[in-house]
Amino acid sequence: MPYHLLTGATGLLGTYLLRDGLAAGRQMAVVVRPSAMESPRQRVESIMARWERELGYALPRPPVLVGNIGQPDLGLDRDALDWIAQHCVSVIHNAASLSFVADERTGEPYRSNVEGTRHVLELCRKTGIRGFHHVSTAYVCGLRSGRVLESELEVGQQPGNDYEKTKVEAEKMVRRADFLDRPTIYRPAIIIGDSATGYSTTFHGFYTPLKIGQALVDQFQLDTIDGEPLIAALGLTGRERKNFVPVDWVSRLITYLHGRPEHHGGTYHLALPERVPVAVCREVIERALREYAGKNRGKGAKNPELAEMQETFVEQMGAYRAYWRDDPEFDTTNTARAAPHLVACDVGFATLLRTAQFALEANFGWPRPQPVRPEFDVEEHLRGVLPIELGPNGAGGLRVALQVNGPGGGQWTLAVNDCGPVSARPGLADDPDAILYLNSKTFRRCVLGQIDLRRAAGLGLLTSETGDMAPERLLAVLSAVARSAGGD
């Protein structure tokens, strides 16, 4: 079964692309690096657990490859590269650094946006992947005004910051890669939180003055903030316009276009015709901070000098001052032609207020949520029964695909000989001899002997596609991998 390899799966847009790709029935695989608190599999499990709470049903878990786009071959070993070569037909390259100013210590944003893209492209060349979907940004246009066409990239524009400069360079590399089919380029405008819930895990851009405002409310115990003199201190009139796009809308568009080969090879501005005036952003932030102060501070206790507040605000805005310049008009001809039913999205006061309220209630993502630990991890159980490896399956005559949805689930292909299953490999093989589907709760009950496999199948908790394989033998295979191991 063909897989689509996603980078940046743990970032805000990446979590939505993973959800929407799986919901569309696509086989997704992810490259993820460990964090200080979680392994790559645990990071993905936490993401999937959140979506299951919101959606109310179990989802499949993608194969997780432990890697880092900042390293050659993404830090993957030969077996992992072979797995990609055998399973993956396209890459959705979404990973990026959002740093506006170059950091000599970390090398960002050049390390991720330029070198990372170079490494992903080289991975495609080595593994024979020809389908490439690149998440760029509408702001490759730099400090331009007027109408910016989807067909334009370099027209002598001046970049507004290092982030924009690196995204131009990355897009140029993608376009020069002659070992790909024509790459598909997605250029979102300014991504904000979910249009319905305000949910976000990233708090840059629009959120920066809100975060500074929260700090001012806390520092001076204010009950309100007048944003007009603050934006005036940045040299803004309030008439400047910004193109905000909700993350869920961006993901729906990318997922739709990714699934339609007839639209591949194009460049798509994921932007809206109506831009939001900075004055409206100011009103949103003022309203959100009034509500925050009412819940947390009560009446103002101090009366700071305006000049002091302006100085603090301007200093902390730092690199984001240029960000609030007037946005150009982004041409969306290609997007409207390819996905006319998805181009409409209303972003105004109400949507922005939801995003601001969420950010304040979530304290801008701090402290970080505790990792989600599933009650039962199917892969840990399988490792007590069978060797699991990215390399070729053992010398089995048949291949049985096993998909376990829900907490601690995953996808594997079992190699089976006359004695039963002999090894497992992550991912579902193309044209397996049989496929088994169940959720992790049912799998755990089978392991604990709380339910008979035949009864589970009779209750619809276990479904299968047997092909030429006898149903009795298929149940015997599942029984073998669900047997108790190591005290389960």
Last residue within a domain, chosen from 163, 188, 213: 188
130 contacts 180 by C-beta, under 8 angstroms: yes
Give the contacts of 224 (CB within 8 A, at least 6 positions apart): 286, 289, 290, 293, 300
The two three-digit tokens of residue 216, written as one number:
């001012």
CB-CB contact of 221 with 215 (8 Å): no
Helical residues (DSSP H) of 362-409, grouped into ranges: 378-383
Reading phi first (left if > 0) and then psi (alpha if -120 to 50, else beta), residue 421 is in: beta
- CATH code of the domain containing 470: 3.30.1050.10
Residues constituting the chain: 488
Contact 113, 167 (CB under 8 A): yes
- Residue 280 domain-assigned (yes or no): no
What's the one-letter identity of residue 338? Answer: A
Residue 23 backbone zone (phi > 0: left; psi -120 to 50: alpha; other: beta): alpha
d(CA 171, CA 78): 28
The whole-angstrom separation of Cα 167 and Cα 137 is 7
352, part of any domain: no
Tell me which of 160, 188, 216 is where a domain ends: 188
DSSP labels, 287-325? HHHHHHHHHHT-S------HHHHHHHHHHHHGGGTGGGS
Q: Where a domain ends, among 188, 223, 257?
A: 188
Q: What six digits make up the tokens of 438? A: 């169940």
Q: Cis peptide leading into 62, omega within 30 of 0?
A: no
Cα angle for residues 35, 38, 44 (degrees, 5° grid): 95
| Residue-range definition of the domain harbouring residue 153 | 1-188
Query: In the chain, what is the greatest distance between 2 CA atoms, to the nearest angstrom?
Result: 83
Amino acid (1-letter code) at residue 339: A
What are the CA-CA distances from residue 26 to residues 12, 22, 83, 298 (Å)? 20, 5, 17, 50
DSSP letter (8 states) at residue 388:
B
Question: What letter represents residue 249's amino acid?
Answer: W
Residues paired with 132 in a beta bridge: 91
Q: Give yes or no for a contact between 46 and 10, defined as CB atoms under 8 angstroms apart.
A: no
The neighbour count for residue 276, using CB atoms within 10 Å, is 23
**Assigned domain for 196 exists:** no
Beta bridge partners of 93: 7, 134
> Chunked in runs of 10, what are the mean pLDDT values of the chain (488 residues)?
96 98 96 94 96 94 97 96 97 96 95 98 98 98 97 96 97 98 97 98 93 90 88 92 98 98 98 96 96 76 73 83 90 98 94 98 93 94 92 74 97 93 94 95 95 92 89 92 63
Residue 205 forms part of a structural domain: no
Give the span between the Cα atoms of 101 and 155, in whole angstroms. Answer: 23
3-state secondary structure 425-477: EECCCCCCCEEEEEEHHHHHHHHCCCCCHHHHHHCCCEEEECCCCCHHHHHHH
286 belongs to a structural domain: no
The pLDDT assigned to 297 comes to: 61
Give the separation between CA 444 and CA 457, rounded to whole angstroms: 15
Whether residue 250 lies inside any domain: the answer is: no
How many domains does one find in the chain? 2
CA separation for the pair 6, 226 (Å, rounded):
43
* CA–CA distance, 15 with 21 (Å, rounded to integer): 10
Helix, strand, coil % over all residues of the chain, rounded to 5: 40, 15, 40
Those residues with Cβ within 8 angstroms of residue 203's Cβ, 6 or more apart along the chain or in another chain: 211, 359, 364, 365
Residues 6+ apart with CB under 8 A from 283: 227, 349
Residue 95 lies in a domain: yes
List phi, psi (to 5°) of 451: -150, 140
Is the residue at 225 inside a domain? no
